């Protein structure tokens, strides 16, 4: 069984811009996959399709055994609670503390406060933010913000973690820390899909690499390198 | 779980209200200005209606009687007219009262007083002053009066009154129509101001709405805090209006009483009697506008 299965996925934006063309992709549970490619090649479109933000023009998509090809608007929040997502621009709520940002992901699901107060400090400890949880996002560094985002993505204990350019706004030290955390999460059994164009990061990982160019998959190596 | 969500939504709403205090203050301030305008318009409308009623109250018809008419027949006629459906009250002005009123009215007019003394006797006729129940039913009253046949009636020419009343009705109708158009225009502006204020307030949360959707918040969970905020805005806004309006009305009331002297006008009493109706409607209207604005704005910004 695959954790992520894309069959002939095509995404066309009006009038006739092909962001993705006949993409076939299978990712097994527990895999750590890097999706690489230059800017504008369709990587982010693929992420948007995986989280239900965009619908494919053609093809079929199954995530964790759930066919989300024609997912309804009301089901999107349910899908997003099962996939952890990390973005380049962090996407934290600036008027909530780091603790509240992580809590929020559980509160929207209606989780009881006792459970939230138990889990959130643990997750923040995993990403090394146990001493800064009462601070607001703008009071901490970019690396710490990104670690908060990872913590928020983890609180649901997701089967899949999508990281879209998570090191894009970070210096090399912070970037390494983030990749280490992603690897640690992967070791716990979570499937990680890392979308990046950071050659150094990909080469250091020595994991599966899928290369995308002009909306099409042009390479898939079990232990790959950044070849573009 | 639903109750927990409700409590969380209220908590987020109040937290957001406090953490965005300046935006909240500005929103409430605009709301207060808009509501004050509506209340000002209401005061003007109440005063206008009172002025129109005051003018209508002054309208009466005098039925002049023969000078030699015996009082017992006059009183019989008075009772007969008082019994008409369209009559509010009938006052008898005797010859003596009429001349006293005339003298009093023209006491500063030497020529008039001289002419009166030269006549020697009282030239004025007794009369019955009839007040209609409704000024609008004036025609009906005239028809009824014309059907009364009594030898003691000297004059029953009501044409002047009819023309005057037609003018009054014309003016009051126009005033009502103009008032209605101005009110609608004003209310429309207020609705647009409040609607857009709420939309702008939500627009500043555009990024946050997107993030909430990305972490799996349902549209209801995103929208509900704005609805709660709308209720808080409405309650605080209307409370502020009440606090500002009452001292203001107390200040202008003596001037109004003086201006409308002789007529019962108390704008404070009007507001006290209609407190729930006026401010309850204003709260409901603000909540409704806020609901519509947040429905459109959140819907627009949460499409991720």
Instruction: Provide residues of A within 8 Å CB-CB of chain B.
Output: 51, 53, 73-74, 76-81, 85, 87, 91-95, 104-105, 107-110, 112-113, 152, 156
Asked which of A190-194, B43-47, B94-98 is least confident by mean pLDDT, the reply is: B43-47
Interchain contact, B208 vs A152, CB within 8 Å: no
Owner of token pair 């129109």: B52
CATH of domain B67-151: 3.30.70
Of A73, A80, A110, the CB nearest to B214: A80
Residues of A in contact with B217 (CB under 8 A): 77, 104, 108
Substitution target from A79, A103, A110 for chain B, most B beta carbons within 10 A: A110
The candidate with the shortest Cα–Cα distance to A209, out of A32, A40, A83, is A32
Average pLDDT value for chain B: 83
Each domain of chain B, given as residue ranges in start order, spans 2-56+169-301, 67-151
Please tell me the distance in Å from B179's CA to the nearest CA on chain A.
Answer: 46
Of A91, A94, A110, the CB nearest to B214: A91
What's the whole-model pTM score?
Answer: 0.66
The candidate with the shortest Cα–Cα distance to A12, out of A26, A1, A23, A24, is A23
Residues of B in contact with A78 (CB under 8 A): 216
Residue of A nearest to B16 (CA): A95
pLDDT above 80: residue A40: yes
Query: CB distance from B4 to chain A under 8 Å?
Result: yes
Q: Taking the mean position of all CA atoms in its chain, how far away is CA B35?
A: 16
- The 10s digit of each residue's pLDDT in B124-161 is 888 888 888 877 777 778 888 888 877 888 877 676 66
Residue of A nearest to B210 (CA): A91
Interchain contact, B217 vs A108, CB within 8 Å: yes
Of B16, B215, B219, the CB nearest to A80: B215
The candidate with the shortest Cα–Cα distance to A91, out of B13, B200, B212, B298, is B212
pLDDT at res. A68: 93
pLDDT at res. A69: 92
pLDDT above 80: residue B94: yes
| DSSP conformational letter for A223 | T
- In this predicted model, which residue has the larger pLDDT, B120 or A104? A104
**In percent, how much of chain A has pLDDT > 70?**
99
Please tell me the distance in Å from A54's CA to the nearest CA on chain B.
Answer: 8
Query: CB distance from B221 to chain A under 8 Å?
Result: yes
CATH of domain A1-82+159-228: 3.40.50.300
Residue B212, judged by CB atoms within 10 A of its CB (0-12, 13-18, 19+), counts as: buried
Average pLDDT value for chain A: 89
Segment B177-192 shows an average pLDDT of: 81
Residues of B in contact with A94 (CB under 8 A): 208
Residues of B in contact with A74 (CB under 8 A): 218
**CA–CA distances in Å: residue A128 to residues A138, A147, B3, B169, B185:** 17, 8, 34, 82, 60
For B219-243, b/e burial (b = at least 16 CB within 10 A) is: bebbbbbbbbbbbbbbebbbebbbe
CATH 3.40.50.300 in chain A, residues? 1-82+159-228
- Pairs of residues, one from chain A and one from chain B, whose beta carbons lie less than 8 Å apart: 53
Residues of A in contact with B299 (CB under 8 A): none
């Amino acid at each position: 069984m695959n954790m992520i299965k894309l069959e002939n996925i095509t995404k066309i934006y009006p009038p006739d811009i092909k962001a993705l063309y006949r993409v076939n992709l299978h990712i097994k549970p527990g895999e750590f996959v890097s999706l690489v490619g230059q800017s504008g090649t369709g990587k982010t479109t693929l992420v948007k399709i995986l989280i239900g933000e965009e619908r494919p023009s053609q093809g079929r998509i199954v995530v964790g055994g759930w066919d989300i090809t024609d997912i309804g608007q009301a089901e999107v929040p349910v899908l997003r609670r099962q996939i952890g997502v990390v973005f380049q621009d962090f996407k934290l709520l600036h008027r909530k503390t780091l603790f509240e940002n992580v809590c929020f992901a559980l509160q929207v699901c209606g989780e009881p406060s006792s459970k939230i107060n138990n889990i959130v400090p643990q997750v923040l400890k995993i990403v090394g933010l146990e001493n800064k949880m009462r601070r607001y996002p703008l009071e901490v560094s970019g690396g710490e913000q990104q670690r908060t985002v990872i913590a928020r993505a983890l609180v649901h204990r997701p089967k899949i973690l999508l990281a879209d350019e998570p090191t894009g706004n970070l210096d090399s030290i912070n970037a390494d820390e983030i990749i280490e955390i992603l690897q640690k999460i992967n070791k716990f059994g979570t499937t990680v899909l890392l979308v990046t164009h950071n050659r150094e990061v990909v080469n250091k990982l020595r994991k599966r690499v899928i290369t995308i160019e002009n909306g099409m998959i042009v390479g898939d190596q079990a232990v790959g390198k950044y070849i573009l | 779980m639903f109750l927990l969500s409700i409590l969380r939504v209220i908590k987020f709403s109040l937290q957001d209200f406090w953490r965005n205090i300046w935006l909240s203050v500005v929103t409430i301030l605009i709301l207060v200005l808009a509501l004050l305008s509506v209340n000002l318009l209401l005061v003007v409308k109440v005063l206008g209606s009172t002025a129109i009623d005051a003018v209508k109250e002054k309208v009466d018809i005098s039925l002049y009687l023969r000078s030699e008419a015996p009082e017992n027949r006059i009183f019989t006629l008075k009772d007969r007219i008082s019994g008409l459906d369209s009559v509010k009250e009938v006052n008898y002005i005797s010859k003596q009262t009429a001349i006293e009123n005339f003298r009093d009215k023209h006491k500063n007019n030497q020529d008039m007083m001289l002419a009166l003394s030269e006549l020697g006797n009282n030239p004025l006729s007794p009369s019955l002053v009839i007040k209609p129940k409704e000024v609008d039913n004036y025609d009906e009253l005239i028809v009824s009066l014309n059907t009364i046949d009594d030898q003691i009636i000297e004059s029953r020419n009501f044409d002047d009154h009819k023309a005057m009343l037609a003018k009054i009705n014309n003016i009051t109708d126009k005033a009502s129509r103009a008032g209605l158009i101005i009110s609608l225009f004003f209310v429309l502006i207020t609705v647009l101001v409040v609607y857009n204020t709420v939309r702008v307030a939500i627009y500043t949360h555009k990024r946050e709405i997107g993030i909430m959707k990305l972490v799996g918040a349902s549209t209801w969970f995103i929208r509900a805090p704005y609805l709660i905020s709308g209720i808080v805005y409405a309650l605080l806004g209307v409370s502020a209006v009440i606090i500002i309006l009452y001292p203001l009305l107390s200040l202008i009331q003596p001037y109004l009483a003086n201006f409308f002297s002789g007529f019962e006008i108390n704008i404070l009493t009007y507001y006290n009697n209609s407190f729930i109706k006026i401010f309850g409607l204003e709260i409901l209207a603000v909540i409704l506008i806020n609901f519509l604005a947040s429905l459109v704005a959140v819907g627009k910004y949460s499409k991720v």
